């Protein structure tokens, strides 16, 4: 299942916020604290977090000028040696790079910083992200393992490692990484759903008893995901897929009975249909999901 099937639309939020960048930045320069502005105060952010969110929104919507203004204000307020500011500066340089050579130069800057400060985690993570974008996956995995040796409770790093392993077809290692993440955040419904997806993909590459054993584990994680968040579209999508009648009818090795699995399928299908109906009744700008996400659900339902 595509990673785009997430709750709401981050891109819509980013675009909406970036459109107000000039107003927000102008109000701050006139003396009003950015954290008091309604678009950000709902999240209880301090000045750094508020400006950082605005910076990310501007980067996502390619408003480089406003992103630079945010970065300059953060630099003046917190200093150029602040680790988070350094990482944001690196991200800005990456986003505005015009060639692969410019990106390689950014990588060299990260290496220079880390040669003097090897435990600078924000820079370490930016370096890993850049390695991934340059298709240097093996180097990115090695760097992530180093990060996790230093900070084994970093959930974000475990999840990123899982995605890198999965991109290389190393599903068992990806599963292990997400299981480690769940030891730290056992109630993270999105991680349960992603783990269910990876196990499902792995199960479909197997045969016989081995496949059904993994399929059962996949279903368990999808169930846990929607138990923790009863309107998580991605969880219900995975549950409908993993309990599809075509699979259940040949699943004599599954511990759960066919009636139970078909009941779960009916529940997931009903929830997806309700979501589609509710979304289609709303005006486009009020929808919680993108058209592509809704189209994926429609295609799944029509193909089951």
Q: Tell me the two tokens of residue 26.
A: 């102008």
Task: Report how far residue 85's alpha carbon sits from residue 48's, in angstroms, rounded to the nearest whole number.
Answer: 9
Task: Report how far residue 24's alpha carbon sits from residue 196's, in angstroms, rounded to the nearest whole number.
Answer: 41
Task: Report how far residue 185's alpha carbon sits from residue 172's, in angstroms, rounded to the nearest whole number.
Answer: 20
pLDDT in tens, 165-182: 999 999 999 999 999 999
pLDDT in tens, 7-37: 334 555 555 555 556 655 655 544 444 444 4
Exposed / middle / buried, residue 301 (Cβ in 10 Å: 0-12, 13-18, 19+): middle
**Stronger pLDDT, 54 or 218, i.e. the higher one:** 218
Nearest CA to 151 among 124, 117, 129, 173? 124
* Structural domain spans, the chain: 11-83, 187-284+294-304
pTM: 0.80
Give pairs for 110-116: CB < 8 Å, separation 24+. 113/86
Does residue 243 register a pLDDT over 50?
A: yes
E strands present in 128-224: none
pLDDT in tens, 76-116: 989 999 999 999 999 999 999 999 999 999 999 999 999 99
- Supply the mean pLDDT for the chain: 85
Task: Report how far residue 267's alpha carbon sits from residue 249's, in angstroms, rounded to the nearest whole number.
Answer: 17
Length of the chain, in residues: 304
Q: Tell me the two tokens of residue 263.
A: 């009941």
């Amino acid at each position: 299942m595509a990673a785009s099937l997430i709750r709401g639309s981050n891109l819509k939020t980013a675009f909406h916020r970036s459109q107000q960048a000039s107003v927000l930045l102008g109000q701050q320069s006139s003396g009003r604290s950015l954290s008091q502005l309604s678009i950000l105060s709902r999240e209880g952010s301090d000045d750094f977090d508020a400006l950082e969110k605005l910076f990310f929104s501007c980067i996502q919507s390619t408003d480089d000028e406003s992103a630079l203004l945010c970065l300059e204000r953060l630099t003046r307020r917190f200093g150029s040696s602040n680790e988070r500011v350094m990482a944001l500066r690196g991200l800005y340089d990456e986003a505005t790079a015009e060639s692969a050579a410019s990106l390689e130069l950014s990588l060299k800057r990260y290496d220079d910083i880390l040669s003097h400060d090897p435990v600078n985690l924000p820079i370490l993570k930016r370096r890993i992200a850049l390695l991934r974008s340059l298709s240097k996956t093996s180097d990115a995995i090695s760097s992530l393992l180093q990060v996790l040796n230093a900070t084994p409770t970093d959930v974000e790093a475990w999840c990123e490692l899982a995605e890198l392993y999965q991109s290389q077809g190393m599903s068992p290692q990806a599963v292990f990484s997400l299981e480690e993440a769940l030891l730290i955040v056992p109630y993270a419904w999105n991680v349960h759903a992603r783990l269910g997806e990876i196990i499902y993909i792995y199960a479909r590459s197997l045969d016989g008893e081995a496949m059904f054993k993994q399929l059962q584990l996949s279903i368990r994680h999808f169930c846990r995901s929607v138990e923790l968040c009863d309107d998580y579209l991605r969880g219900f999508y995975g549950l409908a897929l993993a309990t599809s009648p075509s699979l259940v009818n040949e699943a004599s090795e599954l511990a759960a009975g066919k009636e139970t699995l078909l009941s779960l399928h009916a529940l997931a299908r009903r929830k997806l249909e309700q979501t589609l109906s509710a979304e289609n009744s709303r005006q486009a700008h009020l929808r919680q999901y993108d058209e592509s996400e809704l189209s994926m659900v429609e295609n799944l339902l029509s193909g089951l």
